[in-house]
Chains A and B, each alone.
Chain A
Amino acid sequence: MRILALIRQVPDAQETVRVADNKVDLDGRKLVMDTMDEYGVEEALRLREKGADVEIVAVAVGPTRAQEALRAALAMGADRAIHVETDAALDVIALSSVIAQIARAQQAGLILCGGQQADWDSQALGAATAEQLAWPQVTWTRALELNGSTLAGKHDTDDGVESFTLSLPAVLTTQQGLNDPRYPTLPNIMKSKKKEIRTDTLEAYNVTPRIRLQGVAVESKERLKKILDGQDAPAAAAQLVQSLRQEARVIQ
């Protein structure tokens, strides 16, 4: 079976965000493979290590630099990569169409995708890709087992944790808690340099974005920052309660 692991290159979570020319300026920022996607690559590797006969293909759609994130996936152990190179900002529905076309061409049986991407805060890619392929989907997977062509696992919902089973093919979204992604070892990093990254143009996929970004702003609400010293706990508590009741008026 072939597994596609979707990869997105995003700013490191510790980086501050800056806006220039009405868009988020990533110049000089530390960019990494989205941690949510690392769980997907790791899970694919674990399925193989538990005996599944799988080929793992890392897939990214984005600018030239997205290849750095694909290299990171290859260094973790993915077998090869496909990069659809574009500077265009695709919306999630258009992106899902590209991914679905790749999945069909590669005859993939399983797609792993981060539960939420840290740059555009979208949770829609897994579900939209599943619908494009008419496959079932499970979001926010936290445990996974493969038995033949049946996947069993647990995932998070609004109300708690569900146990699920489904038959492949399928799309699963991944998250922290599913596993502990490995660090690439030096030999694997060396080996990964010889692995293939196929580069396609976006034009080959014939998609039309229908969401246009008009502009961005960094929002930070000014906070009062009235911070008290808590050496005298009862006095600090009394003052805080009074502020919350009479000034902020948020408690009774």
Chain B
Amino acid sequence: MILLVVPHAKGKIGKAAYELATAARNIGREGPVTALVLGSGVAAVAAGAARIADQVLVADLPELAQFDPELWSSAVAQIAQEGEAHTILIAASRDGRAYSPRVAVKLDAPLLEDVVSVQDRGGALVAERLSFLNRVTETIEAQGTVTVVSVKPGAFDAAQPASETAEQFDVDLELPPRRVTIAGMEKEDTGRIALTEADVVVAGGRGVGSPEGFTQLIVGLADQLGAAVGATRAVVDAGWRPYSEQVGQTGKTVQPKAYIAVGISGAVQHVSGMGKSGCIVAINKDRDAPIFHVADYGIVGDVQQIVPALIAELRK
């Protein structure tokens, strides 16, 4: 079987779950697609999963209220072994990339990490992934009967949920003790659409001038477009914006339909997190800024002038 671990947050099934479903359907391997839901209070997630899989396994346990790579990898490896899964699909979110390697080691399986495509070719899985800060596409082949695959968010189209629902089964798990104690979480919930889920992202760099400038220009434009807000490393390091909004090598990788970069020079580390976006728009006063080399549309000008004009134009 193909085992698909269902990503979710705040009690809701994530967009990445539908992308994994597409990957599972197109992989060209036999067997039912089994969705595995791990968490606490995840009935709604399981109901959503029932519309993208042939069956749903649910471990709704208080011990799983908080993510832990050892617990998650242990749970996934147990289910994969019991169900004789040949392919394990995990979303390559930060959490997914923290536990998928452990699943591979537990199963003595190769890991295809952060793939943008994956297909069975004569019994082996062949995948494409990006390397060298997202600038090179590698084609790689995994050898072995069981393969763990983590799938890059945004790389696959989201599957349409089926009208019929698959059967759900509760599963028992033997979980290891938690060894990393989480004392606290600085929740950075801004109440906006999540960066990795949004069709449009408006992102700001130091070029917006100040935290107030960021709120006025970037958040203002994002509000007007119903977009998510992104930021550069420099902005986050300066404390203007929370880390959860950071796009780039050390932040999130996003692939929205449109990415609007305001006051962002376009360092390779930033571009590695957004360079695969559908349409890239750059607004910057420096005509020679590298961001213009990867832009579809752009305006060379003062962001303090251009962005308010854009907001006004959109309001018309």
- Whole-angstrom distance between the alpha carbons of A76 and B254 in the complex? 35
Assess whether B265 is interfacial by the CB under 8 Å rule: no
How far apart are A39's CB and chain B's nearest CB, in angstroms? Answer: 10
- Whole-angstrom distance between the alpha carbons of A106 and B208 in the complex? 50
How far apart are B263's CB and chain A's nearest CB, in angstroms? Answer: 12
How far apart are A127's CB and chain B's nearest CB, in angstroms? Answer: 4
Measured between beta carbons, the chain A residues less than 8 angstroms from B94 are 123, 139-140, 156-158
Give residues 109-136 of A contacting B (CB, 8 Å). Answer: 115-116, 118-125, 127-128, 130-132, 136
Assess whether A138 is interfacial by the CB under 8 Å rule: yes
Number of A positions contacting B (CB below 8 A): 79
Give residues 85-105 of B contacting A (CB, 8 Å). Answer: 93-95, 97-102, 104-105
- Whole-angstrom distance between the alpha carbons of A157 and B72 in the complex? 15
Known A122-B113, A157-B67, A164-B180: A218·B140 in contact at CB below 8 Å: no
Assess whether B305 is interfacial by the CB under 8 Å rule: yes
Q: Please tell me if the beta carbons of B182 and A236 are within 8 angstroms of each other in the complex.
A: no
How far apart are B124's CB and chain A's nearest CB, in angstroms? Answer: 9
How far apart are A13's CB and chain B's nearest CB, in angstroms? Answer: 5
Q: Please tell me if the beta carbons of A214 and B135 are within 8 angstroms of each other in the complex.
A: no
Which of these binds chain A: B50-58, B157-165, B243-251? Answer: B243-251
Known A160-B188, A211-B142: A236·B111 in contact at CB below 8 Å: no
Assess whether B296 is interfacial by the CB under 8 Å rule: yes
Q: Please tell me if the beta carbons of B244 and A160 are within 8 angstroms of each other in the complex.
A: yes
Known A158-B9, A227-B292, A250-B257: A237·B313 in contact at CB below 8 Å: yes
Assess whether A233 is interfacial by the CB under 8 Å rule: yes
Q: Please tell me if the beta carbons of B306 and A226 are within 8 angstroms of each other in the complex.
A: no
Assess whether A52 is interfacial by the CB under 8 Å rule: no
- Whole-angstrom distance between the alpha carbons of A164 and B69 in the complex? 13
Q: Please tell me if the beta carbons of B135 and A17 are within 8 angstroms of each other in the complex.
A: yes
Q: Please tell me if the beta carbons of A231 and B301 are within 8 angstroms of each other in the complex.
A: yes
Known A13-B269, A160-B187, A166-B180: A228·B299 in contact at CB below 8 Å: yes
How far apart are B142's CB and chain A's nearest CB, in angstroms? Answer: 6
Give residues 248-288 of B contacting A (CB, 8 Å). Answer: 249-250, 257-258, 268-269, 272, 275-276, 278-283, 287
- Whole-angstrom distance between the alpha carbons of A17 and B305 in the complex? 37
Measured between beta carbons, the chain B residues less than 8 angstroms from A229 are 299-301
- Whole-angstrom distance between the alpha carbons of A219 and B298 in the complex? 22
Give residues 61-112 of B contacting A (CB, 8 Å). Answer: 67, 69-70, 73, 93-95, 97-102, 104-106, 109-112
What are 24 A-B residue pairs whose CB atoms fall within 8 Å in the complex?
A: A93-B111, A121-B130, A127-B102, A130-B102, A139-B94, A139-B98, A140-B94, A159-B188, A160-B189, A161-B186, A162-B182, A167-B179, A176-B250, A210-B143, A227-B300, A228-B299, A229-B300, A229-B301, A233-B301, A233-B308, A234-B312, A240-B297, A240-B310, A243-B297
